[in-house]
Structure 1
Amino acid sequence: MPQSLSHIALVVTNPTRSARLLTDVFADARITREEDAADAHPEVIVQLAGLEFVLVRGQGPASRNGDHIAFQVSKAEQLACAERLQALALDFQLARGDTALYFSDYDNHVFELDVGDEGGAGPVA
């Protein structure tokens, strides 16, 4: 049986640019592997929220479809990320009474910042 997530792989047109987006939006994101053109699988690895995001060069999704990756965050972190998204001139949307913030990367991958119940009862359904 699975014990935990190992990593999340996202196919993106420019792994380095996508990695920079994640590190610009999320204060705790760190690039742990740079792209190597000589490698058979050009990719960049970003450590974020205890997970590795493997950003693999290729053609990402043609459109947004509702699939997304949700992170539980505090309201303060959600607002700080919103400020960083504004500074990067990236669109985002607040939903569910401003407890969820949605934004997408350059390749149509959607991310959610879920404040949920800050009392510790878990995300809002």
Structure 2
Amino acid sequence: MVEGLSHSTLVVTDLDRTAQLFSDIFEAEEVYDSGAKKHSFFKEKSFLIAGVWVAIMESEDIKNETYHHVAFKLSDSDYEAYKEKLEISDIRMRESRPRIECEGRSLYFYDYDNNLFELHTGTLEERLDSYN
């Protein structure tokens, strides 16, 4: 039986640069660094972001940007502070998609390797209610 989300793994070109981004934006806790070892396909680091295990692996084989993304829950009261954090960062933000007002707000941004992240203020229940 599936019990919930285990982790998310993203491929990046520079582990240290992405680790700094995770620290700056998400206040992530780095819990593992493989160093030069490769236990998996590539060198890797693992983080806890709001209790969610997020891993990054280093490779030069990066694809173009897509809408595939990882979304983290954000309280509506923190929306403007995170928007400001993102605007002063050296990263590219993406316009939010059109939304029904009561389904929450989102901030979308790409890391340095075209991985898309979302900070979202709504819940699944609010979204489903807004679609009915």
Greater displacement, 44-53 / 54-63: 54-63
Structure 2 residue aligned with 1:25: 25
| Whole-Å separation in 2 of the counterparts to 1:74 and 1:35 | 33
Structure 1 residue aligned with 2:64: 63
Change (3 A) 1:46 1:99: same
Residue 47 of structure 1: how far off its partner (Å): 0.7
Residue 94 of structure 1: how far off its partner (Å): 4.8
Higher gyration radius (CA): 2
Give TM-score scaled by structure 1 length.
0.81
Give unpaired runs (5+ residues) of structure 1. Answer: none
Q: What residue identity is the alignment partner of 2:9?
A: A
Give TM-score scaled by structure 2 length.
0.78
Q: How big is the alpha-carbon RMSD for the aligned residues of Structure 1 and Structure 2?
A: 2.3
SS at match of 1:18: helix
Give unpaired runs (5+ residues) of structure 2. Answer: none
Higher helix share: 2
Residue 122 of structure 1: how far off its partner (Å): 4.0
Structure 2 residue aligned with 1:12: 12
Does the 8 Å CA contact 1:60/1:107 hold for their aligned counterparts? no
- Calculate percent identity across the aligned residue pairs: 31
